Chain A
Amino acid sequence: MKIALDILSWVLLTAGGVFVLVGGIGALRMPNLYTRMHAASVTDTMGAILVIAGVMIQAGFTLVTIKLAAILLFLLITSPTASYALGNAAMLAGIKPDAGSAADPEKAP
């Protein structure tokens, strides 16, 4: 039973790590502010859920699990709100969500 739980949390943690890395690479390589926001939000949701779920399984049914659940809840509530406020502010400041020449049909070969 313990082995099964360990393997499960190993899988969850690794998947979480993969999502976090993907989001990080996306935030660096994407061409535009809005696409970068899209990539960063992957880490804030999937990455956070998988990593904290993996760690929660290791903790068992103690107070620590409840604290972890509280951390996950606050992350899930505040991170998208911050992204929303950021997108809103960028939009109001006039940054246009054009994808650059990557999506320009005239320049496509």
Chain B
Amino acid sequence: MILTKQLAVLGILGLTTGLFTYGAPAPARAAETAQVVKITASKFHFTPDRIVLAKDQPVTLQLTSADRTHGFMVRAFGIDTDIEPGKTTAITIRPEKIGTYTTICDHYCGLGHGGMKMTIVVQEASAKSSAAPVVSASNTVSK
């Protein structure tokens, strides 16, 4: 019951701030703060189109749309959501498995929709990433 209330509060906060985090926060390691990665969707690509995350490190993906509703689906992380223009959709995850994951837009957005995808790479925290804007990573989906 307490948990439910906490989740409800989180939900309300998310709605009132325009920032919504699914469910409970990633299992906490004290003093561990999720890094933030901003991803913008627009017809027919994500920016950036590749990010590198560190294994076992929490990260919050802040998703926005520059034009119309898009989707953001990466089944390996249990994420499948719409990104609506004018809102920020925030999802906190803690990636637990090293690998390369394809993320697709699964909300039909026009004739170029089929090619709208990006890549999420998860690697050891100590590894140097050649790519990406952000990065230190995360994993468990706090969805």
Chains A and B are bound partners: no
